[in-house]
Amino acid sequence: MLQTRTLIDGPVSVVEYRCDAGPQQPSYWEAHTGWSVSFVQRGTFSCHCRGRVHELVPGSVLLGRPGDEYRCTHEHHHGGDECLAVHLAAQLVDELAPRGWQSGAAAPCAELMVSAERMRAAACGDSDVALDEAALSFAARYATLAHDGAPLPAAARAQDRRRAVESALWIDAHADQPIDLHTLARRCGLSAYHFLRVFAAALGVTPHQYLVRSRLRHAARRLVEGDQPITEVALDCGFADLSNFVRSFRRAAGTSPRGFRRAAQADRKIFQERLAAPT
């Protein structure tokens, strides 16, 4: 069953989608009514669109173009999925990406994962940044990166897509642990070479790329939500050392972990102090 909650409405709208549909429930063709960029926060589902099947896992981005038909199915049911969708007015899309984008999906991307965590924090009230600003920044980040990416490939067989999705969910749940290609391949009963090809064909990234990006997403959430020392955040999220974490995070966020935390928490602290002050 699909549940929706509109968080803000306007030229930039943000809608939270939660779905607990399983493999046995029917799916229907629908049409996108506007432009959208949606971030998968939890779970997995498949999107059939423009002759392709896109497998979406935590960190993937679902794209909508007005008039395009799509159908979502849940062959790999894991307790439901959650998305945070940004719907944009046409005039905004003209500014961000004059030619827009095709409906489909984009592979998990470190820059988008970190940007999405800013948006999620704003949606949850964990930041005093305005949600419309955070959402527009996320969509703009996608538009900037779009020329370097592509929709998820659809060449993989159904069985291989299932293996890739199962592996991605396992990686995301165990991202704080040491994980290597051979361990993942053995879990699927495949050779390392064949597993690498299957995973990349289904999800658009290699297993190691997805692992690092999951670690960055988990780290960004911890930086926003708590005061844990940055070194502990790095080690708890699976990074071997602080310098590697700082380099990776700076590439993804455009700022250091400390700068990211400061920007996310400074305004909230001021806001809380104002609320606590006597009137």
Q: Which residues contact 271 (CB under 8 A, 6 or more apart)?
A: 128
Compute the distance between CA of residue 91 and CA of residue 15 in angstroms, rounded to an integer: 19
CA-based torsion, 188, 149, 2, 217: positive or negative? positive
CA 151, 210, 62, 30 torsion-angle sign: positive
- Please say if the pLDDT value at position 267 is more than 70: no
Mean pLDDT of 158-173: 93
Q: How confident is the model at residue 270 (pLDDT cuts 50, 70, 90)?
A: very low
What does the pLDDT average to over 213-221? 95
- Write down the pTM of the prediction: 0.83
Exposed/middle/buried for residue 252 (C-beta within 10 Å: 0-12, 13-18, 19+): buried
Given this model, what pLDDT does residue 101 score? Answer: 93
pLDDT score recorded for residue 274: 44
Q: What is the mean pLDDT of residues 230-241?
A: 96
Give percent helix, percent strand, percent coil of the chain, each to the nearest 5: 50, 20, 30
pLDDT tens digit sequence for 118-149: 899 889 876 667 899 889 989 999 998 875 54
d(CA 115, CA 220): 9
Position 77 confidence tier, pLDDT thresholds 50, 70, 90: low
Band (186; pLDDT cuts 50, 70, 90): very high
| DSSP, residue by residue, 32-58 | --SEEEEEEEES-EEEEETTEEEEE-T
What percentage of the chain carries pLDDT values higher than 70?
Answer: 89
Does residue 37 have a pLDDT over 80? yes
Provide the mean pLDDT of the chain: 88
| pLDDT surpasses 90 at 248 | yes
Question: In Å, how far from its chain's centre is CA 209?
Answer: 14
Give SS3 for 27.
coil
- SS3 (DSSP) at 215: helix
* Residue 49 dihedral angles phi and psi, to the nearest 5°: -160, 135
- pLDDT of 278 reads 47
* Residue 181 in this model has a pLDDT that exceeds 70: yes
Task: Write out pLDDT tens, residues 3-28.
Answer: 999 999 999 999 999 998 888 888 89
Q: How confident is the model at residue 171 (pLDDT cuts 50, 70, 90)?
A: very high
Check residue 214 and give its pLDDT. Answer: 96
Residue 43 pLDDT more than 90? Answer: yes
